[in-house]
Chains A and B, each alone.
Chain A
């Protein structure tokens, strides 16, 4: 009386195949689960028993042993419920074993025998190649992203059994399929005035430059940041599948079509923990906000209020485009290539024009010190955003809409892709010399800034990358002229105020 059913468990954004082995033998009636199950797995026995009984099946009053193989690996989550139930039905002879060989099962069971969705259905299904996978109806769309043809759906345990025996039909899910996602980003035309911040957002999108908005409360930092993902080009197929896998694994909501086709926008609150930001957690190693923003925008509002350790943890993904999480039991690599957008006030009171700040010296210094130098250095663009003037605010004329800006952004991205194989923000120092040569006047401007100590070596390269994007935007593919460098310098406000007097 033995059966082996296929299912999968999740680690990071990867599904690993699991065999759920059920043995029913003589002995005192009992139910044991072995093979490193976590708490949710262990509780499955009570759910499975109730679900079987409410579906009209028989509960074998014998000694039931369940092994989750491979036994050395820790299993988490509730996705093994259905496989467990099928294993018991098969081992107790209530359904023929040969019907099950080509199927895998990924679903949670309700006490009434209904199938419930599980987080991570897409990567779980992706881990189960060459089989037909049975999932709960709400998981169908994301599961089809991973494996379009071999997904089956059923509402209850009873329907699963009937369909397997050939006495019933699988649920039809094809009708839900072709719901194309639409963009839900607010439009840039809502932004009145703010020419500098608009230009900065355009550059950030076109060149993939991380951007920090500095300005008083109510100046419109958040408004522009929210519109930034709309300027980015739609995700490529590969990016879309990866993004969907990540969202699925994290249990985040997916668009109606199942596949994420537009750049994601993530805006975690500043109380976020390090695990919430970069990923981790107990057995499943859930992706964090940095990975959820993969291909899109990670927006940190009030960036100075985040815990310094959380911000510093972002430095690796910012450099390498992925997060490597290592734990004693396992390690995973999660993709995390995002556009970082920060927003901060210049000081605790919100600042404003020079002389308007009411903060005392120490409070202001402490506020700015929260943003470490190395972290600030990651931002190519540091833009001062000032309150929109009354005239502009009341102006009925709309700003330039997203669609037009996006066209320019797409053109520049295409240009840089042809030139260097990536966005301008990732040009190396050597590539800069080749692809972004300076005119003599432009070089003199930068020399003066360096001599005055207002530009560091790292800042020098960042300015040149931004200038490359700026020149691309104005259709100039050659040498960088003086005015472009000047604009690039203006878009890198000095945040740490030097003592103006001495």
Chain B
């Protein structure tokens, strides 16, 4: 049948992926072995659907600024093509060229400690500065924090130098037009504009829980190494790790205190043989890059704390402590400690969550 409506092949591929009863495997085989349009015409004989839905899909993607690439296209990402379970159709915003950079996947828990957030943000900043793309899931917590860190660096860097920055790559578990979580909406758009926002799900698909493990396999597949910043002993990040190990992708973990539940998973990974990561240099080494090049960029921007406040800062360094703990262990009056904490917080050395104080160290 001729292409009488003049619709591009990708619209057929996209429409095909949205058909009810179209399993990933069937879709993959169909797209790999025939033209999307032929596949469509053959498939719809089983359904009471007309060609309208292809046109609708075309308009929808145009309108919502979504591009489509299918597994048969030459532009389809190479890393995914040779994957054991590649997504047959990808919806994306931004540029697939982001995948040409060296890529690090950074994942973690959705309810991190402040220092976990700080670590993730710092990794994001430094990887962006060193032209390394970061793959993550745009979820709450660590995922959001790492891309937020990249954004901080973008905002700081001069517009002229932005070509040499590492790109953010966000892989999400719903349609690109369905922002989840809503609190990350700003970051979501930023990633689409400055890097690559990617999903295997078509417009309007809701973030149902079973889609997240599916999404995690794509994060793993797109990464050269995967870093877990903070994770419990079970959860989405551990599924990403399992997918990475299946694909023979090296996994690293940021060690945490054994007393912090949200570092339980990362410590377990280290016990099981994953490499520990304590600074971004370890990641350069893992990517076989010259890690000396970061030496210049690792500087401390914060004003050094007052000598008088140092013992309070040191007391906050081994995990979060309460005000009570500080008063009792330092044997200093509460007023005195309140002033120290206030100064340290103003300078960005400590952070307070529900009355627990934690030092943010490099």
Contacts and interface: CB of A to CB of B under 8 A. Distances in A.
Contacts of A204: none
Contacts of B351: 500
A489 B354 contact: no
A193 to B, nearest CB: 6
Interface string B87-131: 000000000000000000000001111101100110000000000
Interface string A464-502: 000000000010000000111011011001110101111
Interface stretch (B11-19, B57-65, B182-190, B267-275): B182-190
Interface in A346-387: 346, 351, 353-358, 361, 383-386
A386 B355 contact: yes
Contacts of B114: 354, 500
Given A361-B111, A386-B322, A353 B338 contact: no
Contacts of B263: 355
Contact of B334 (A195, A215, A354): A195
A420 interface: no
Interface stretch (B196-204, B211-219, B254-262): B254-262
Which of B113, B116, B323, B351 counts the most chain A CB atoms within 10 A? B323
A269 interface: no
Nearest to B143: A501
B328 A486 contact: no
Contacts of A361: 110-111, 140
Given A196-B324, A501-B117, A356 B335 contact: no
B322 A355 contact: no
**Size range of the interface on B?**
35 or more
A355 B259 CA distance: 9
A214 interface: yes
Given A354-B113, A355-B260, A448-B346, A484 B335 contact: yes
A384 B144 contact: no
A486 B140 contact: no
B353 interface: yes
A490 B338 contact: yes
A179 interface: no
Contacts of B353: 354, 497, 500
Contact of B116 (A193, A197, A351, A355): A355
B308 to A, nearest CB: 13
Contacts of A351: 354
Nearest to A386: B322
A445 interface: yes
A490 B114 CA distance: 18
B338 A502 contact: no
Contacts of A445: 342
A355 B140 contact: no
B56 interface: no
Given A353-B319, A357-B111, A361-B111, A501 B338 contact: no
A133 B117 CA distance: 73
23 contacts: A197-B324, A353-B319, A353-B356, A354-B113, A354-B114, A354-B353, A354-B354, A355-B112, A355-B260, A355-B261, A355-B320, A482-B339, A487-B338, A493-B352, A493-B354, A495-B354, A497-B353, A501-B112, A501-B121, A501-B140, A501-B142, A501-B145, A502-B186
Given A386-B356, A486-B341, A486-B342, 18 more contacts: A194-B324, A195-B323, A195-B328, A196-B323, A196-B334, A354-B358, A356-B262, A357-B261, A385-B355, A389-B325, A486-B339, A487-B335, A493-B352, A493-B355, A499-B140, A501-B141, A501-B142, A502-B184
